[in-house]
Amino acid sequence: MTLPIVKLPTPSLRERSKEIDRDILLSPEIQQLIKNLIPTMYGDDGIGLAAPQVGKNIRLCVVGKEADKHLTEDLILANPVWEKNSKKTAIDDEGCLSVPGKFGKVKRYTDIHVTAWDRQGNPLSFDAKQFFARVIQHEVDHLNGVLFIDKATDVYEVDPVDLKKYKEKQRGTI
């Protein structure tokens, strides 16, 4: 089941999400939310989706398997935290399902280390590089109440008629 995407100017998008404990993560309600996040993300041509974008201000997000060639399935991250592995950054275009039609250039670290829980509450610890690292940083920003337009330069709008073509060219909307 796809869920409605929360869009600006909804105030909850600007709030820091709450951490979830393992019992809550394993609850039927949150497991159903996880199942719904994936088709919701793909239904809007996204490559990542955070729980606040569907009205749940908890520290939970999904990263589509297309974000990295080593992923064999969509990645669920509960309570994710990242830190930079190097000072190297890159600037690239980003968009957001919660800010439809707007895009801008965002500077992100290109090599990060991530710790989180998977959908069953098992610990995860891995490195992410390039686009994969960008998607994770974007989603964790959502969990902190930060939107890409807060960091972007050269923000521009794409006409709704051209939006689908544009998203395909950009590898999906984060």
Spatial separation of the C-alpha atoms in residues 78 and 91, rounded to whole Å:
27
Residue 139 falls in the annotated catalytic set: yes
- Decide: 104 and 152 in contact? Cβ < 8 Å: yes
Query: Residue 109: phi, psi to the nearest 5?
Result: -70, 145
- Nearest Cα to 153, choosing from 110, 111, 108? 108
Q: Which amino acid is at 38?
A: I
Catalytic residue among 94, 139, 157, 168: 139
d(CA 148, CA 5): 16
Look at the block and give the residue holding tokens 């998203």.
167
β-pairing, 75-84 vs 89-96, is unpaired
Residues recognised as catalytic = 139
